[in-house]
Amino acid sequence: MEPRHHVRDISENEFPQAVLQRSREVPVVVDFWAEWCQPCKVLGPLLERAAADAGGAFELVKVDVDQNQTLAGQFGIQSIPTVVAFRDGAPVSQFSGAIPETALASWLDEILPSELDVAVDRGRDAAISGDVTGAEAIFRYVLDQQADHQEAGTSLASLLLSRGDTEEALIVLGKLAPSPEVDRLQAAARVGSARSDDIGELQKRVDAAPDDAAARIRLANALAAHSEFEPALDHLLYIVRTRGEGKEEARKAMLDIFGILGDEHPLTSTYRRQLTSALF
């Protein structure tokens, strides 16, 4: 294998694609170095040999700090060599100095995908190809081995939610560490639990008794479960503004919808401002 296989030198302009985007597919290790740095000349060959031996399990990117001072400053590089590992578009681990080869190997083991991680990737590929049953079996196998495996848990929860198994999805998600994705899926599960409610009947109840907060919240949740988010938010905001029974439940239901839509969605921005105004 070529000594610099899976190794590349990049500039600041290439960093978003070569590191941030690429690390969503495979771990990327960034070596911040300089030509005059003697410890860099010791560590650099070790990193390059490790990248070659790994055969694509990770990619090594080298950044000359003299040529890319802004980038080095962005990541707080105060001494070199400094090595930073990226996964899923974010730094996950780093060290500074020319550490021994055995210590480097141990560090790489921690940031590289485990066998269970690889299994989850196979499960995702199966789901994409249409083999949902096979994907579910893989995710469940991984969770049998490690109940709090983040990627397997969120992947299985997504499958469960797609077929309406909200209760089991919440159980799976409850074993995972908090994260934006876990929060989003939990919100989707809570909202999705109202999918079977009869929107027409609930609308009649609300029309007959506009101040029936319980009926209006159920109607809002049913609408949200069918992706009718704007009318759902209108009903919930109405309850918050009345400041009566159900205000807190309505507030939490609005937050669940914001969680599903995401912070950048126009409805989230609009109704979050209105919710703040109604609360205070």
Residues annotated as catalytic (active site), given as ranges? 37, 40
Q: Three-state secondary structure along the chain?
A: CCCCCCEEECCHHHHHHHHHHHHHCCCEEEEEECCCCHHHHHHHHHHHHHHHHHCCCCEEEEEECCCCHHHHHHCCCCCCCEEEEEECCEEEEEEECCCCHHHHHHHHHHHCCCHHHHHHHHHHHHHHCCCHHHHHHHHHHHHHHCCCCHHHHHHHHHHHHHCCCHHHHHHHHHCCCCCHHHHHHHHHHHHHCCCCCCHHHHHHHHHHCCCCHHHHHHHHHHHHHCCCHHHHHHHHHHHHHHCCCCHHHHHHHHHHHHHHHCCCCHHHHHHHHHHHHHHC
